[in-house]
């Protein structure tokens, strides 16, 4: 198993992986090839994949806005879980952010995602009880489909 920087050439395999992760919300625009390509052009060094025998078995979309890092779609294929791959990928993405001079990183986890929330606490991330999360939809065509 190797962990390396994600490129747009990984898109088909990464999308296939996402499509099998129960509970994931896949967005029509942001998660399209064009959307991911835009993201990776802006953030060429900070997203990672885990690969086993040429097959993508884990991925993290990670980028920053010049101040704060952010992770999206953190996932490991079900049969590869609980072997430290998620943690190793998160550390690799965090090192890449640090190399960009970024000092803080955050992410959103659904409250209902028991495993995801346990994972982030176990790998040392701080659960912020003092914050409320706000967002505003700028494009109604960016529709989210949840994987069941």
Q: What would the x/- binding string for ligand COA be over residues 7 to 36, using CB under 6 A?
A: --------------x---------------
* Sequential DSSP letters for 65-98: SSSEEEEEEEEE-GGG-SSSHHHHHHHHHHHHHH
| Residue 69 in the binding site for ligand COA (CB under 6 A) | no
Sequence-ordered list of residues with C-beta below 8 angstroms from that of 71, at least 6 positions apart, any chain? 60, 61, 62, 90, 93, 105, 106, 107
| Residue 3 in the binding site for ligand COA (CB under 6 A) | no
| Residue 147 in the binding site for ligand COA (CB under 6 A) | no
Of the candidates 71, 63, 54, 62, which has an alpha carbon nearest to the alpha carbon of residue 13? 54
| Residue 104 in the binding site for ligand COA (CB under 6 A) | no
Q: Which of 85, 92, 96, 97 binds ligand COA (CB under 6 A)?
A: 85
| Residue 86 in the binding site for ligand COA (CB under 6 A) | yes
Structural tokens at position 124: 């040392």
What residue ranges bind ligand COA (CB under 6 A)?
21, 74-76, 81-87, 109, 113, 115-116, 118-119, 122-123
């Amino acid at each position: 198993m190797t962990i390396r920087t994600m490129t747009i050439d990984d898109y088909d395999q990464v999308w296939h992986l996402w499509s099998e992760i129960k509970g994931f919300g896949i967005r029509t625009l942001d998660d399209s090839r064009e959307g991911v390509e835009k993201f990776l052009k802006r953030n060429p060094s900070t997203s990672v994949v885990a690969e086993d025998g040429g097959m993508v078995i884990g991925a993290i979309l990670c980028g920053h806005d010049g101040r704060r890092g952010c992770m999206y779609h953190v996932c490991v294929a079900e049969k590869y879980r609980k072997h430290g791959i998620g943690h190793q990928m998160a550390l690799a993405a965090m090192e890449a952010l640090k190399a960009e001079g970024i000092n803080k990183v955050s992410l959103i986890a659904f409250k209902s995602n028991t495993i995801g929330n346990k994972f982030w606490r176990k790998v040392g991330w701080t659960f912020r009880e003092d914050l409320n999360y706000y967002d505003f939809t700028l494009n109604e065509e960016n529709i989210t489909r949840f994987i069941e």
